[in-house]
Amino acid sequence: MLRQGILLQNRYRILRWVGGGGMGEVYLAEDTRLPGRRCAIKEMSPAQQKPQDRNWAIHAFQQEAQILAQLRHPGLIAVTNFFSERNNWYLVMDYVEGETLEERLKRAPRGHLPLDEAMDIIRQLCDGLEYLHGQHPPVVFRDLKPGNVMITPQGGVRLIDFGIARFFKPGQTRDTVALGTPGYAAPEQYGRQGQSDARADIYSLGVLLHQMVTGYDPATTPFNLPSPRALNTDLPQQIEAVIQRATQMQPDQRYQSVRELRRALFRWRTPFPDWARWVWIGLGIAGTLLLGLCVVIMVWVWLWSPKPTATPTGTPKLPTNIPLPSPSLLTVTVPTATNTVTSKPGREAIPTPDTSSVILTDTPMPVDTPTPTVSRSAPLRIAYVHGPVANTDVYVADADGSGRTCVACAWCDEAEPAWSPDGTHIAYQSNCDGNYDIWIVDVGNHNAVQLTFTPGVDEREPHWSPDSSQIVYRASVAGSARNTDGELWVMNADGSSQQRLGSMAIRGRSPIWSPDGTKILFMSQRNGRWQVYIYILFTGDTNRLTNCSTNCRWPCWSPDGRYVAYHSTENATGSRSAIPEIIWVMYAEGGKVTPLTTGHQPGRPSWSRDGQIIFNSNRGIEAVFAADGSGRRILINDDDNWAPDWSE
């Protein structure tokens, strides 16, 4: 064991012993080249191993370093160095404060956790395991147990100790060495059913969930777990079913991927007991009668009171007397340039310059770029999607890109996240039920609710009204191309009263409510190229804001509604017509257009209340200051992260 104060590599000063196991000892150390930076150092001493195990132990330790050096994920520990000294091997890693899940379970009453806490831990473990299994070749952890799960003071979950993790080897019929912790390791890790693959981790994940919700030690009866509900009668049946399938002896009878398990686990709903159902029915009837009485009184007051002449303010409610059309009514031909919806007769559309004549310079934004008037106490957060187009999940992160968590993680495509104004929910699109529908998810407990169910219709790209009462979105015939116009629709935030936006069909996509609730910003290719438009709710006018020679797409508002940001593309036609090139800022009334940033394909901007613009690029998710485009920095690496949205 290393003594306190000893210096390794003339750099790492040992502070204290942290823990140890079969694969070595772990120490807390200080990196003297970066004063104040602490790290964890794992030591493997071949002399401490049995003679017959030494060669294997050295290989396993080197493999752990090889695996971790290639991985970057918030659910894993980053490796920063690997070396040999004094006949021992050392692995230097980030030091993470917290306690292991094993320690947490020891503190828990009756040895099991509250259901919400257990589900949150499993959700984060699913996130990390799915990342590992998605590597090429896949990385199988193979030792998922409470002692190898670290919980940070902020509630983050990290996998530690990759001592027996391995790359999956296609064609190999069985594991070379039988390894794992009894009770948690899958049968195939002991030479049964062939080589262990990702499904071995799914087995261990099921065992771990069983222990967290029941307090039962699986080492007591390996491969023979008692019924979860026999140990915890409050456990929902759906969760018991997930555990039982995940822990099947035969790999083919388990969930075949972490994503499949996660979908089954987080789509469960706890049914109301009979008495509660009748209470809600009674309350519903009473509420309906009360609402009817209020409507009668309001109509009477309206008929006998003077009519107001002042201009209405606040978020306008759209008319409710427009009937919900059948899906066949959505098969409207995309308007051509000759029948483009513009402003009403007698109203002049906003003139805008042709951005093809704008030369990209270092010209700063206008000096009166506003500071937001919105005052909120909640810290800024980012919502974004991770994965290739048509196969994504919705994540949230802190404003600096840390604390990344998946909140909509089913097997299907979940995309286009939009924060509710109070920052508690995210609306998004999902095709879990076949067609694309609008869903909302509670960011706190990750429970998702489906809002739209229209047969034969894809409903996409939701956005909240500033008072959270309504959601605007795009509707098109099911199966229509993703990158085309649809009809803009609106509904109440609970999914009721779905109707077209305006008395006539407004064609476009990516509708965004203005901060004052009086306008809808959207993009449309009705004239052959994508341009930015504004729909005025009070008047029903549609004004074109841009006159781009290429394509102008994905607009957003500044927090006070005075400015609009959007990106332009490299070309007007061809395969590069959707590749972003420049982010621009202009007045919402039209006029001057100012380039904000270019390089690395910046696109899909979102404007924060503290004056930052976030966007995706071919480097990941980045941010700049809206005032002058300065301070550009990468918040989240990897171009598989995109469609960012600031919380409001």
| Residues identified as active-site | 143
> For residues 475 and 459, is the Cβ–Cβ distance under 8 A?
yes
CA-to-CA dists, residue 263 to 389, 406, 411, 565, angstroms? 19, 12, 6, 36
CA 353/CA 629 separation, integer angstroms: 21
Residue 300 identity: W
Phi and psi for 53 in degrees, rounded to 5?
-105, -5
Q: What is the DSSP string of 191-205?
A: TSSSS--HHHHHHHH
Q: Which residues contact 590 (CB under 8 A, 6 or more apart)?
A: 350, 351, 352, 545
Question: For residue 488, what are the β-bridge partners?
Answer: 474
Tally of CB atoms within 10 A around 250: 11
Q: Taking a C-beta distance cutoff of 8 angstroms, is the pair 631, 625 a contact?
A: yes
- Whether the CA torsion 74, 626, 313, 486 is positive or negative: it is negative
Question: What is the dihedral sign for C-alpha 149, 101, 42, 25?
Answer: negative
Q: Which two tokens stand for residue 10?
A: 């003339």
Three-state DSSP at 94 gives: strand
591 DSSP assignment: -
Pair type for strands 580-587 and 563-569: antiparallel
Torsions phi, psi of 393, nearest 5?
Answer: -125, 160
Distance from C-alpha of 517 to C-alpha of 537, rounded to nearest angstrom: 8
Give the integer Cα–Cα distance in Å for 159 and 127: 11
CB 462 within 8 A of CB 394: no
User: What is the Cα–Cα distance from 183 to 638, expressed in whole angstroms?
Assistant: 37
Distance in angstroms (rounded) separating the CA atoms of residues 30 and 12: 6
Residue listed under structure tokens 């899909």: 604
DSSP 471-534: EEEEEEETT--TTS-EEEEEEETTS-S-EESSSSPPEEEEEEE-TTSSEEEEEE-TTSS-EEEE
| Residue 430 CA: distances (Å) to CA of 341, 456, 494, 498 | 30, 14, 16, 18
Give residue 25's region: left, alpha or beta (phi > 0; psi -120 to 50). Answer: beta
Residue 55, judged by CB atoms within 10 A of its CB (0-12, 13-18, 19+), counts as: exposed
Give the separation between CA 415 and CA 365, rounded to whole angstroms: 31
Burial class (CB in 10 A: 0-12, 13-18, 19+), 307: exposed
Residue where the block lists tokens 């509604």: 561
